[in-house]
Structure 1
């Protein structure tokens, strides 16, 4: 995979900012080495592909809609009925691209068109609640769940890989807008850019 230039070049400055007392409330990290595929399964091939993909990826079954399945080097996301996505290392992405034939579905690599931001810390949920109109309580959006939503009117994919950790997959063309939105609203909590 070629080195990916940061979509936030000139904007993402490392350090601590905002209201820092002892520990920052939120930490931000841009993850540059990742693959992202959107996978559509044609209606007639879904059942056979479900078992084929589960076997290929070494999982019992595909995750339910709105959930993700942890893989050795990434996550398989079930976005909607017949719509999956893969987020992670390049090797499984390459396998998925080859495994699904055009007669079974469509695989579109979109990692080059996305920016992946990781937010974590004790105030990560409070920060996201300032712009996401979805219920982010642990009982409503548990670890491993995924949703498409928006921040400031910009569509994003939100994944919760851990209790106080969130991954935001943002279109590169809107990465700076989302970054500014996040950092402005994180200032009262104190934040650190890694």
Structure 2
């Protein structure tokens, strides 16, 4: 695989910021080295979930829209039998592709195809609700949830890592649009750019 070039390197400069002071929001570019989609067949789903959990070192999500993470390793179930594995572990695609036979799962490397932003801070829900029609109350969307959602004209994968920490992923070509939307929405609370995550 060729070297990864992250799409927000030129704007996600740590230490920069804008808006109200002191800043209450931190915005950082997500830079995982591996973003892999694994599609299981109905009859192999249990096997695939078990193998993914072993490789990723996290419990396999059981229900649609569930996500599990340890440190910067995340495993999300985005549709029945469709898993997204996100990690800073190089070579994850090759490892998973070698582990599954075609009749067990389809493994696709999306590492060059996604851009991601982490948004964290006390008013993070208020910021996201400016553009995402999801009820983010913790009784409905607790940490460990992930869902595909519309954000303005973008399609974004939203992963709640903690009560005040969200990861947002979009197709790579929309990464700059996502960055501008998030930083604009955060202006009233003030934001600072954090170190890249990954």
TM-score under structure 1 normalisation? Answer: 0.87
Q: Please state which structure has a larger fraction of its residues in helix.
A: 1
SS of residue matched to 2:159: strand
Alignment root-mean-square deviation, CA? 2.3
SS of residue matched to 1:188: coil
Q: Which residue of 1 aligns with 2:19?
A: 18
Q: Which residue of 2 aligns with 1:66?
A: 65
Q: Distance in 1 between matches of 2:91 and 2:77?
A: 16
Answer whether contact 1:73 1:92 (CA < 8 A) is retained: no
The alpha-carbon distance between structure 1 residues 183 and 90, as it changes in their structure 2 partners (threshold 3 A), is: same
Identify unmatched segments of 5+ residues in structure 2: none
Q: Which residue of 2 aligns with 1:156?
A: 156
Q: State the Cα deviation string for residues 125-150 of structure 1 (Å, max 9, x = none).
A: 11001000011111111111111112
Q: Which residue of 1 aligns with 2:125?
A: 125
**What is the CA distance between 1:68 and its match in structure 2?**
1.4
Identify unmatched segments of 5+ residues in structure 1: none
Count of residue correspondences = 192
Q: Distance in 2 between matches of 1:123 and 1:137?
A: 13
Q: Distance in 1 between matches of 2:73 and 2:25?
A: 23
Are 1:86 and 2:85 counterparts? yes
Are 1:30 and 2:23 counterparts? no
Answer whether contact 2:32 2:86 (CA < 8 A) is retained: no
Q: Which residue of 2 aligns with 1:137?
A: 137
Q: Which residue of 2 aligns with 1:45?
A: 44
Q: Which residue of 2 aligns with 1:186?
A: 186
The alpha-carbon distance between structure 1 residues 160 and 173, as it changes in their structure 2 partners (threshold 3 A), is: same
**What is the CA distance between 1:123 and its match in structure 2?**
1.3
The alpha-carbon distance between structure 1 residues 193 and 42, as it changes in their structure 2 partners (threshold 3 A), is: same
SS of residue matched to 1:182: helix
